């Protein structure tokens, strides 16, 4: 299960390797965001510019993609 060591978040994470389709000052920090359940299973995948292939790969192996806390922006995410 993903867990942010800085803020304790275990639900919402983003993929720093996937750029948003249209970055802006207050816009999305990633082109791919995921929501996880209490067991660490990916239950929702939001794409803001990720290709279908990237979405498929992230869903199959989320530990390789979701490396940034969506709540505080920390990259101190442990699985």
pLDDT at position 26, please? Answer: 58
The 10s digit of each residue's pLDDT in 3-60 is 999 999 999 999 999 987 766 555 567 889 999 999 999 999 999 888 999 999 999 9
9-42 residues labelled b (16+ CB within 10 A) or e (exposed): bbbbbbbbbbbbeeeeeeebebbbbbebeeeeeb
Rg (CA), the chain: 12
Enter the tokens of residue 37: 């359940």
Please indicate whether residue 50 or residue 67 has the higher confidence score (pLDDT). 67
pTM of this prediction? 0.87
Whether 78 shows a pLDDT value over 60: the answer reads yes
pLDDT at position 6, please? Answer: 98
């Amino acid at each position: 299960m993903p867990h942010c060591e800085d803020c304790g978040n275990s639900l919402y994470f983003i993929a720093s390797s996937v750029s948003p389709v249209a970055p802006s000052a207050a816009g999305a920090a990633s082109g791919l965001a995921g929501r996880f359940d209490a067991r660490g299973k990916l239950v929702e995948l939001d794409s803001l510019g990720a290709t279908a292939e990237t979405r498929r790969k992230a869903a199959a192996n989320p530990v390789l993609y979701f490396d940034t806390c969506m709540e505080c922006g920390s990259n101190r995410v442990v699985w």
